[in-house]
Amino acid sequence: MANQYQVDPRQALFLKAYIDPKSKTFSNAKQSALSAGYTEEYAGTILSQDLDWLSESLSLEKMLKKAERNLDEFLDEPEDKKVRLEATKFVASRAGKAKWSERTELTASEGRDLFDGLTEEQKKKLDNLL
């Protein structure tokens, strides 16, 4: 079962089926809930219940759609070219991160290795964690 720390897998399945336009049950809460494994009774009332996980997820999805729409409009007709450049870099680094992300090297002061001073045993433990 889900709690504040652990998501019920059915929640994720429901959200994917309900908000993904490619889903067979897109925008049909009852059918999305049934396909996720909820009971008929629960599926029939899922949107009328006060479910924090559902309202939060739908709210985030709504905000993301608005942000994407605003970004599309802005990139088509920006007034400030510097702001357009920054927005373009932001989108490229996020949406096209495989190709356009920036790499940041982490080093200690003066460019030294971050792990200078570690014993061989500590380095092995660190390697095992990574």
The reply to whether the predicted model has a pTM over 0.85 is no
Residue 93: CB atoms within 10 A of its CB come to 13
54 closest CA partner among 65, 69, 62 = 62
Radius of gyration of the chain from Cα atoms? 23
pLDDT at 2: 53
The Cα 32–Cα 16 span in angstroms is 8
The Cα 71–Cα 104 span in angstroms is 26
**67-118 confidence digits (pLDDT tens):** 777 777 777 776 777 777 787 777 777 777 777 777 777 777 777 777 777 7
pLDDT at 1: 54
Residue 12 has pLDDT above 80, yes or no: yes
